[in-house]
A = this chain, B = another copy of it.
Amino acid sequence: MSNRITELFNIKYPIVQAGMVWCSGWRLASAVSNAGGLGIIGAGSMYPAVLRKHIQKCKLATERPFAVNVPLLYPDVQEIMKIIVEEKVRIVFTSAGNPATWTEYLKKNGITVAHVIANSKFALKAEACGVDAVVAEGFEAGGHNGREETTTMCLVPMICDRVKIPVIAAGGIGSGRAMLAAMALGADAVQIGSAFAVAEESSAHPNFKNSIVGAAEGDTRLRMKKLVPVRLLKNEFADAVGQAEAQGASTEVLVQLLGRARAKLGMFEGDMEQGELEIGQVSAMLDQIRPAAEILSAIWKEFLTEKERISEMRF
């Protein structure tokens, strides 16, 4: 049996692994796809030549569908799109940019397109541009985030009411319970980031995985609201940003504080104090590093159990 998203992507479970900078290369994407979900290679942290290698390796590692996530503000986006078409990638998730720019090109090349949004305005725009699905990402999600601060609980039903295309819920989803909640809100599938960032196959530095597993409630905050809002794990860098912001720091000061390559420094190279650590609120509930297939199967199992519990509720 199936739904609109499992049919659209030709996958077994309506579970999408988020394309995440420095975490989701071919190993994680192919592991999730082999387990029956949709794995995504995150192009946001890859030079074009590196991305090509990841796509090629992913094709060798799985016969199942997988996708590439492309932040549209990425400087090399033209080169990236060329590689995606040349390498015959079948599904692309676009984010952080205007869906009008690339959707037609991708669709003309027979590629299924989903676009990440955080408000109705962009959901409607993405639908009008011809994307096949939208990812509705709430305030609790890790990494870059919407300015409206609308949470998953409020965003998903609004988006479901406003578009006809399938909606993939993202933000705060790391368990079968949360997946069921997202489906109750009207989503056709879920996109899961943080819970897969700690997968064995994630390319995140072991220090970062351990920090995520050790994270407690309130350890992430939305920062850099004057630049592009981003949810960060508490560390020396995030605290410095928080203090600067509390004192009214200008965008210039924040740009300087951020510097260059901090996400790589933290998430890939393992500097837990000076690096930029992008992760969601759900990190507070994550407590082990294990294979992606185990993570997916635990979520699916809990989803089915909780669905049964809800079905049996009588009033």
Contacts and interface: CB of A to CB of B under 8 A. Distances in A.
A217 B139 contact: no
Interface residues of A, number: 57
A229 interface: no
A184 interface: yes
Given A140-B154, A284-B158, A306 B13 contact: no
Contact of A151 (B158, B281, B304): B281
A88 interface: no
A151 B157 contact: no
Number of copies: 2
A217 B285 contact: no
Interface string A114-128: 000001110000000
A222 B313 CA distance: 35
Contacts of A178: 153, 157, 185
A315 B13 contact: yes
A285 B154 contact: yes
A208 B213 CA distance: 44
Interface in A156-203: 157-158, 161, 171-173, 175, 177-178, 180-186
Contact of A172 (B148, B154, B313): B154
Contacts of A138: 151, 153
22 contacts: A1-B315, A14-B315, A120-B217, A138-B153, A148-B218, A149-B218, A150-B218, A151-B152, A151-B171, A152-B153, A153-B178, A154-B172, A157-B175, A157-B178, A158-B284, A177-B184, A177-B185, A183-B313, A184-B306, A246-B248, A307-B310, A307-B311
